[in-house]
Amino acid sequence: MHKKFISIFIILLISQFAFSQSDSEQQFNDDDFQVTFPSIIVQHVSATIEIIPAEHLKDSIYSSSFPKIRINGEVVETKIIDGLLLIPYNFDKNETVYIQIGRFGFSKNTTPIPLWMSILPPLIAIIMALWIKEVFTALFVGILVGTTMIYFYSGSIFFIAVFQGLYAIMDTYVIESVTDSGHLSIIIFSMLIGAMVNLITKNGGMKGVVNILSKYAQSPRSGQFITWLMGIAIFFDDYANTLVVGNTMRPVTDQLKISREKLAYIVDSTAAPVASIAFITTWIGAELSYIQNGIDTLGLEESAYNIFINSLAYSFYPIFTLIFILILIYRNVDFGPMFKAEQKARNMKIISNDDSEGFSNKLNEFETSDKIKARWYNAAIPVLVIIIGTSVGLLFTGWDEQVWQDIDLAFSKKISIIIGNADSYKALLWSSLSGVMVALVLTLGQRLMNLKDSIDSLINGFRSMLTAVVILILAWSIALVTQHLHTADFISQTMLTLSISPYLIPTLTFVLAGLVAFSTGSSWGTMAILYPLLLPASWLISQESGLDYAVSMSLFYNVVSGVLAGSVLGDHCSPISDTTILSSLATNCNHIEHVRTQLPYALTVGFAAIFIGTLPAAYGVSSWILFPTGIIFMYIVIRIVGKKVNTAAVKL
């Protein structure tokens, strides 16, 4: 009897357990959940699996009794956002992923794209661009390689993946690139600048400016120096700097037989370096926000603005670049491909963008009818409207009454914060449209041209920008491909897995930023990727190594500057960089020739910045010693390898 009672008790326990188990394992229908895997799965990169519950289940997913979600038998962390179940998951290998919710099951075979292959699209584009010297084909092939990889690893056979990738270039990547508001703003701004330049050329304004500048720019040396000064003067935005200086100085440098390659180099190498380190620029807002995020993550009691100011003591590449140009101009020498370009220009063998081998002087672009009197102010006033209008627009869109009335902030800091919060794209669009309208009013008001001819000039100006716009769109498209393939993650992970001393982190940061910017063609994108990654990492490694607060902060300043400086260096070296393309556009220089001639100069300065600046500064050498030492080093290099370009025949 006793044994019988025990048996009945055990049976009841088992029944109760089975009942509770079957109750917890809820029965779901196949249409109760819709499981969506990420369209692009890259190896070793976390992606999100999205589960959409049916309407009648959306309330129950917040309940504690809702079944746990398992992937391949293991319970996974789940985020619930707006009624969606989001599961971060690392796809490290080819596998069948089985998702279980109660008794609901869903499986999918996954083949992640190897992370190392993410470098192929930009690498192929860069190699092809430098090899065939034709940027359209190079960019297109690079994008096609990336899109084909995406579809091939999504399950398509190779030949079908090629066609899918081909069509995706247009219906996905080009469309997304041109519908981005910032990109569209750059296109419109560039076209408005082109229209204005064409109009002030036809109405005699540009010829008047040339006549004025010619009084000061009477030789290639002085012409280059004035170009450098203008690049420093327009410090508030690199895009405005590039387009205004390039278009304004092009007819002057053409008359002085300065090569388009040298003009493009000076324009490109003053724009971003100045904009990246000046206190009041369109860059400052992004820089401060990234620094502030790093401070918040680490819990440091430091001001983002103060960190930015201190980081300038380590901004070797931007400052060295500006001084390097001055040394070249002062000594009137060049070396490498730039020397050959300058020699050809002096002999009138190279001027135009269309024919880099033979003589084809395109100064007819700037020809003005003999009936029109050249007046410098017809060009100067619209250009000043753009410069002043951009500054006013930045203040207007970023105005903060609370910041302005803060008595604890210095005036310069108030202005920097306001401009840092501004909408730079709006400011550029407003100012460029104002410049076009002012140029049109001046032309019609003085009866220099009739309305029809004026509008035709504006339209021709738009048309002249088409080639550059196509290149920009392709460059943005390949940047989007690299973003989808996580190219920056591959480079970052490769560099960060090395076991290094904390004193080498700033140098590693500089090199890493240069590689990412070179591969992606975007200095801003590089900053957005690396600042959140490297600022916390550098601080934590310094602390783990037992460094005191002062030394850790000096390394932190160096890393802040290293990301910025490396981004600018990579941008200067990359043929898919938007600012490099804009420099070619503004100066009407063959794009690949611009990259090829600028590359040795950028790498020379980069070498000095790393080994005479960033690296010894990390070990405590004062910047007061390093900056003069770096300048002396660059002077010696230029003195040794520089060759004088014959200028006897080109004085005005």
**CA 511 to chain centroid:** 16
What CA–CA distance (Å, rounded) separates 229 from 340?
25
Domains in the chain: boundaries: 30-112, 116-179, 184-644
Average of pLDDT values for 18-46?
Answer: 70
pLDDT at 316 over 90: yes
Instruction: For the chain, give the percent of residues with pLDDT over 70.
Output: 85
Q: State residue 359's pLDDT score.
A: 29
* b/e 236-255 (16+ beta carbons within 10 angstroms → b): bbbbbbbbbbbbbbbbbbbb
pLDDT at 360 over 50: no
pLDDT band at 637 (very low <50, low <70, confident <90, very high): very high
Range name among 40-44, 281-285, 373-377, 431-435 with the lowest pLDDT average: 281-285
Considering the domain delimited by 30-112, tell me its CATH architecture: Sandwich (2.60)
Within 8 A by CB and 6+ apart from 349, the residues are 357, 358, 359
pTM: 0.66
What CA–CA distance (Å, rounded) separates 576 from 592?
10
DSSP-derived 3-state class of residue 157:
coil
What CA–CA distance (Å, rounded) separates 346 from 649?
8
pLDDT, tens digit, 9 for 90 and up, residues 507-562: 988 998 888 888 877 777 677 667 767 777 788 778 777 888 888 889 999 999 99
Q: State residue 600's pLDDT score.
A: 94
Averaged pLDDT score across all residues of the chain: 81
What CA–CA distance (Å, rounded) separates 90 from 110?
11
In terms of pLDDT, which residue wins out, 631 or 379?
Answer: 631
pLDDT, tens digit, 9 for 90 and up, residues 465-486: 777 678 778 878 887 888 888 8
Tell me which amino acid residue 33 is.
F
What CA–CA distance (Å, rounded) separates 239 from 188?
12
Within 8 A by CB and 6+ apart from 590, the residues are 133, 260, 261, 353, 356, 584
For 393-440, what is the HEC assignment?
HHHHHCCCHHHHCCCCCCHHHHHHHHHHCCCHHHHHHHHHHHHHHHHH
Range name among 66-75, 347-356, 473-482, 562-571 with the lowest pLDDT average: 347-356
pLDDT at 326 over 90: yes
Q: State residue 599's pLDDT score.
A: 93
- Helices and strands (H, E) in the chain, number of each type: 28, 10
What CA–CA distance (Å, rounded) separates 174 from 200?
32
What CA–CA distance (Å, rounded) separates 273 from 312?
12
Closest CA to 614 of 546, 472, 514, 521: 514
Q: State residue 652's pLDDT score.
A: 41
Average of pLDDT values for 241-253?
Answer: 82
pLDDT at 361 over 60: no
